[in-house]
Chain A
Amino acid sequence: MTRKIRKAAVIGSGIMGGGIAALLAGAGINVLLLDIVPFDLTDEEKSDPAARNRMVQNGLNATLASKPSLFMTKKDASLIEIGNLEDDFDKLADCDWICEVIVENLAIKQDLFKRIDGVRKADSIISSNTSGIPLAKMSEGLSDSFKKHFLGTHFFNPVRYMHLLELIPGAETKQEILDFIANFGEVNLGKGIVWAKDTPNFVGNRIGIQGMGFVMNAVVEDKMSLAEVDGIFGPLMGRPRTAVFGTSDLVGLDTMCHVADNTVELCPEDDMKDTMVVPAFVKQLVTDGKLGNKTKEGFYKKGFTPEGKYFKHQIDPQTGEYVEIVKPDFPCLAEAKKMESSADKLKAIVYGEDKGAKFAWKCVSNSLQYAAKRVPEISDTIVEIDNAMKWGYNYEMGPFETWDAIGVKESCAKMEAEGLEVPANVKAMLAAGKETFYKIENGKNCYYDFPSDSYKAIELSDSALSLEVCKADGGLVKTCASASLIDIGDNVYCLEFHTKMNALNEEIVNFMGEVYDFLDENAAGLVIGNQAGGMPGAFSAGADLSFVSKMAHAKEYDKMDAFLEKAQMGMLKMRYASFPVVAAPYGMTLGGGCEVCLAADKMVAHAELYMGLVEIGVGLLPAGGGCLNLWKNYIDALPAGTQKDTDLAKLFVPTFMKIGMAAVSMSAAGAVANGHLVPNRDRIIFNRDLQIGEAKKEVLRMVEDGYAPPRKTRVRVIGREGQGMINAEIFNMLQGGFLSEYDAELAKRIAFVISGGDVKKNTEVTEEAILKLEREAFVDFSKHEKTIARIDGMLKTGKPVRN
């Protein structure tokens, strides 16, 4: 038998249940979403199916309305069937996976599982998304078969965006079930799997809540303001912008307190449980109903004054009153800002001398202690803890990686000097001469394993190819400050960008030219991709604008044209090269980044893809083949022999609109709808960790299938007939005040380029001709003061200028 999830059930349609249902639907799974029949139905409503489904319908509606959207595309909702736990319960018999996401109440859960035990098909999987109730208690007294197929599947909110999925085996869960769900979670749902034990709050929330609890108590002791703390524990320390208190407001103070109280209550053996006792000022906020963003006030209160002015106030932990925010101004933060690497930034903060730095050290050292003491209680390895914090809390580094970054030996010495406890297992590790938790050995990322006092390879699936490991293992073929060519095995190479936001610059363009001959001679194929961090991160945020700005100001138009031509011809050469090129876009893939992908043979895109040709925002147009290749995506979608008789306007207008309106997708599915991704050619994968590995597989598959470069043909265009349409329509938008005069000018010229220039409709022109039109327009635009103002404005403020 091959296990499959033909249909999954999600029971409970709240924010988590709805999110899980949306994720499953996005992965193409049929979902049955159930919730209770409302308690307060009138006698008349009791026989009305719509009223009986009101709860689940509202849940689904809320999921559809969520922002940022929990659905990859709203169309996915058609895969979700809704029902209630009375009328539709028997439908669970058809489901291969039943995921429970109901209220955190043991008795109610037990009752539900008992009913499920009665109707489920013999080999179906049952899981609970509980965060605090022991699995063992929930399945008590149920059938053997149930227990063998039962496990914990703990997703994080918002489900679509949070990478973490904690899996908790029950005492009797079959290994086959665990293996299956782990693979399904990783590949189909794109999650990072962390194996947890059946201990309260599992891994992420156990570590996370302790860290937050400690900080909340410490602000009172040390008389710190909330904004000061959030200023420290933000991006400079590799944490999300919302830091500690902002994140609590996001999660909800009630939820956070519940998790903290739960840990204190259920972990009597935890010697640091006192650090999680919620301080009085926080308890008071919860009592007062100040629960965070959902009640409009919590640790922070944001809003508008009667005069319409925006304000944001913070709670003073000493008085419990909202007070003005004073921006934190600690020398350690200024120092950290100067540092390049994350490790140096961290060091600058935790080893600083000011009040903020001391506070940071106090909290960080405590959380490191706590994490070390939880192995093996909550997980067998340090890797699970680090991953949980990275994937569930969006930390750039987990506690043990943080420890490596600030120096294990150095920090332990400081702890000891200050009379702080260094956990015994860490002490022993240092004593054994091991000074880091991680290292790369034999081309593998290894972690320190406490019980065996040795480094063990981190076990990853085959596709989890790490460029960092390849490089460390001697795979670096050629490199420069902006890009590298990496041997990723089997004669496949990866072209990696590594500039800020992976912006494309002259060095990258030159580099692509320089590696061509090497690739032609040695490569089976090429992957263009990178593994930069961030959520969502950036495959490439576009061309390096400062470079364009410099040429525009210096009026170096010949140089500009030459640069563009080099970029265009480089990509064209790759397109028709002897080897397949697969691009692996994820996150922000904008402007030039998008053009690089459009020029490839194929894309293996991550589901979280924000792709678009956005050049018009800075007064430019795609001139790296973007106009040409987006048009080709549209017109090449036509079946053979139908181009000539098709009304090209139906393809031309949407192509023009995507560029003229700078359309950016909100998911890979959205990029398909926009025409940037091509169905049946490009692939969408859910797990970014597997993206480069999957792209490599794709290259090898193309080679195995007998790769030959595409035949170079002329491109059929709409010509002047398309220009007339756009010229007329632009006038309407201009009259309506929807465009500026300059927008209109840009749009008309862009239409001219996409339409193929001064030709009649249906003429076939060379690719080079359209590329030349792109370049000419780009150079002409950059001569215009309004384009220069747009570019400089973007460089200065990061926001588009309308002029």
Chain B
Amino acid sequence: MRDAYIVESVRTPGCKNGRGLFKETRPEELLSFIMKACVDKAGIDAGEIDDTMIGCSFPEGEQGINIGRIANQMAGFPESVSGATVNRFCSSGIEAIALAALRIQAGWSDVTMGGGVESMTFVPMGGNTPRPHPEYANENPAAYISMGVTAENVASRYGITRQECDEFAVNSVAKAAKAQEEGLFTEIVPTPAYRSVEQADGTFKREQFLVDKDDGVRAGTTVEGIARLNSPFKAGGVATAANSSQTTDGAAATLLMSLDKCEELGVKPIAKIVAYAVAGCKSDEMGIGPVFAIPKALKIAGLKVEDIDLFELNEAFSTQALYCSRELKLDMDKVNINGGAIALGHPLGCTGAKLTATLLANLKRTGGKYGIVSMCIGGGMGACAVFEMV
């Protein structure tokens, strides 16, 4: 099987759901912009692309009707470019990149795009019309369990304390704030956003403006400051709004090619995807998914944890991120070096694609070779992709 190479990987900023700078910008607008920006940065003709695979956790409403195709057309790609929407909840973005890579590895395509999008402003977590099966929900309610409750289960089953969680969260925010200040988020493409501004006569006018950074980073967050928050998920619980990921709007895109095509087009590859694995676990403690997925992917890649230079481990909740890091004995200096989803946001189906862009930027800057993107997945799964810089 031939290798699939990444030639470009970019993302929009992540902005807070409902109150953030993208609250009036549709998911198709975010996605089509970043897809076009990805192609433009790579300097190729979009007509070269065979297929675009787009991850989305709740592909309905504004991000329904196969946004994978709609967005590539909105981006101005030729009609010949196909598109699909991919859903594996929180790993949808990395799943899409993996599928895009597989097409190249199988020899079915030469150029593909993988990406992800989620506007949690427009489509809430759980979707617009959640309808669990009545009997199955009664007998196996954990199949539909709230993510917050799983976070509490991880804490109580594996002994994660409130203090640890709050410290972890504060650390994540501090790293992100520092990285913002130092301009380290080079994978971000300043993205046009929209807002309707009320005029003097009461009518509204739609205006465009540019967003160039993640808007949920609360610099100066302290452990004392967030200690007073209560868990909304469990009476006396440990997972709070401040030590859990933010719900976020954002999009990301990654362009992949075969080596032949790189040479033909004169494009310099950045990295290749070495392995991708998913693993199932109990749905009521879905947060521990990476504990199974990471070793599985490393085994495929023939690598050990120590070989990995950087991790982008999605911080769905402090409880699970702490547990996974501890259980896998990760070197915390390598994990989420510029902060994680607690500070930067977790736009569900976009996250895998977003973290890929961040990981590659960080590996490039730090001179690392191997990197991992991993996350837990609702319903009880984990996903892990291993990348190697070239």
B152 contact set on A, CB distance < 8 A: 735-736
Q: Are B235 and A737 in contact (CB under 8 A)?
A: yes
Q: Are B129 and A649 in contact (CB under 8 A)?
A: yes
Determine the main DSSP class of A at the interface with B. helix
Q: Does A725 reach chain B (CB closer than 8 Å)?
A: yes
In the bound complex, what is the Cα–Cα distance between A731 and B138 (angstroms)? Answer: 8
Q: Does A188 reach chain B (CB closer than 8 Å)?
A: no
Known: A736-B152, A736-B237. A723 touches B142 (CB 8 A): no
Q: How many residues of A contact B (CB 8 A)?
A: 18
A723-758 interface bits toward B, Cβ cutoff 8 Å, 1 = contact, 0 = none:
111011111100111100000000010000000000
Q: Does A647 reach chain B (CB closer than 8 Å)?
A: yes
A-B contact pairs, 9 of them (CB 8 A): A727-B132, A727-B137, A728-B137, A730-B141, A732-B146, A732-B149, A735-B152, A736-B148, A736-B237
Q: Are A727 and B233 in contact (CB under 8 A)?
A: no
Q: Does A720 reach chain B (CB closer than 8 Å)?
A: yes
A632-671 interface bits toward B, Cβ cutoff 8 Å, 1 = contact, 0 = none:
0000000000000001010000000000000000000000
A727 interface neighbour in B141, B236, B237, Cβ under 8 Å: B141
Q: Are B141 and A731 in contact (CB under 8 A)?
A: yes
B145 contact set on A, CB distance < 8 A: 728, 731-732, 735
B116-146 interface bits toward A, Cβ cutoff 8 Å, 1 = contact, 0 = none:
0000000000001111111011100110111
B227-243 interface bits toward A, Cβ cutoff 8 Å, 1 = contact, 0 = none:
00001011111000000
A736 contact set on B, CB distance < 8 A: 148-149, 152, 231, 233-235, 237
Q: Does B338 reach chain A (CB closer than 8 Å)?
A: no
Residue of A nearest to B136 (CB): A724
Q: Does B153 reach chain A (CB closer than 8 Å)?
A: yes
Q: Are B144 and A728 in contact (CB under 8 A)?
A: yes
Q: Are A725 and B236 in contact (CB under 8 A)?
A: no
Q: Are B234 and A725 in contact (CB under 8 A)?
A: no
Nearest Cβ on chain B to A471's Cβ, whole angstroms:
52
Q: Are A735 and B153 in contact (CB under 8 A)?
A: yes
Known: A647-B129, A731-B141, A735-B153. A721 touches B235 (CB 8 A): no
B235 interface neighbour in A727, A731, A732, A738, Cβ under 8 Å: A738
Chain B interface residues (CB < 8 Å from chain A): 128-134, 136-138, 141-142, 144-146, 148-149, 152-153, 231, 233-237, 284
In the bound complex, what is the Cα–Cα distance between A19 and B234 (angstroms)? Answer: 38
Known: A649-B129, A724-B133, A732-B149. A737 touches B138 (CB 8 A): no
**Which interface residue of A720, A721, A732 has the most chain B CB atoms within 10 A?**
A732
A731 interface neighbour in B128, B133, B144, B233, Cβ under 8 Å: B144
Known: A736-B234, A736-B235. A727 touches B153 (CB 8 A): no
B134 interface neighbour in A649, A720, A738, Cβ under 8 Å: A720
In the bound complex, what is the Cα–Cα distance between A649 and B129 (angstroms)? Answer: 8
A732 contact set on B, CB distance < 8 A: 145-146, 148-149, 233
Known: A724-B137, A727-B138, A728-B137. A737 touches B131 (CB 8 A): no
Q: Are B134 and A724 in contact (CB under 8 A)?
A: yes
Nearest Cβ on chain B to A777's Cβ, whole angstroms:
16
- For the complex of A and B, the 3 pairs showing the least CB-CB separation, nearest first, are A731-B141, A728-B144, A724-B132
B131 contact set on A, CB distance < 8 A: 649, 721, 724-725
Residue of B nearest to A734 (CB): B141
Known: A724-B137, A727-B141, A728-B137. A735 touches B149 (CB 8 A): yes
Known: A647-B129, A736-B234. A723 touches B134 (CB 8 A): yes
Q: A721-B134, A727-B132 given; name 14 further pairs at CB < 8 Å.
A: A724-B131, A724-B133, A724-B134, A724-B136, A725-B130, A727-B134, A728-B130, A728-B132, A732-B149, A732-B233, A735-B152, A735-B284, A736-B148, A738-B234
In the bound complex, what is the Cα–Cα distance between A746 and B132 (angstroms)? Answer: 19
Residue of A nearest to B141 (CB): A731
In the bound complex, what is the Cα–Cα distance between A728 and B132 (angstroms)? Answer: 7
B231 contact set on A, CB distance < 8 A: 736
In the bound complex, what is the Cα–Cα distance between A729 and B146 (angstroms)? Answer: 8
Residue of A nearest to B231 (CB): A736
In the bound complex, what is the Cα–Cα distance between A725 and B152 (angstroms)? Answer: 21
Q: Are B138 and A748 in contact (CB under 8 A)?
A: yes
In the bound complex, what is the Cα–Cα distance between A723 and B146 (angstroms)? Answer: 17
B153 contact set on A, CB distance < 8 A: 735
**Which interface residue of B137, B148, B236 has the most chain A CB atoms within 10 A?**
B137
B132 contact set on A, CB distance < 8 A: 724-725, 727-728
In the bound complex, what is the Cα–Cα distance between A738 and B230 (angstroms)? Answer: 13
Nearest Cβ on chain A to B129's Cβ, whole angstroms:
6
Nearest Cβ on chain B to A341's Cβ, whole angstroms:
47
A649 contact set on B, CB distance < 8 A: 129, 131
A729 contact set on B, CB distance < 8 A: 146
Nearest Cβ on chain B to A335's Cβ, whole angstroms:
48
A647 contact set on B, CB distance < 8 A: 128-129
A728 contact set on B, CB distance < 8 A: 130, 132, 137, 141, 144-145
B136 contact set on A, CB distance < 8 A: 724
In the bound complex, what is the Cα–Cα distance between A735 and B144 (angstroms)? Answer: 12
A735 contact set on B, CB distance < 8 A: 145, 149, 152-153, 234, 284
In the bound complex, what is the Cα–Cα distance between A649 and B152 (angstroms)? Answer: 28
In the bound complex, what is the Cα–Cα distance between A801 and B226 (angstroms)? Answer: 34
Nearest Cβ on chain A to B379's Cβ, whole angstroms:
12
In the bound complex, what is the Cα–Cα distance between A735 and B128 (angstroms)? Answer: 24
A280-309 interface bits toward B, Cβ cutoff 8 Å, 1 = contact, 0 = none:
000000000000000000000000000000
Nearest Cβ on chain B to A719's Cβ, whole angstroms:
9
**Which interface residue of A649, A724, A737, A738 has the most chain B CB atoms within 10 A?**
A724
Residue of A nearest to B236 (CB): A737
Known: A724-B131, A725-B130. A731 touches B234 (CB 8 A): no
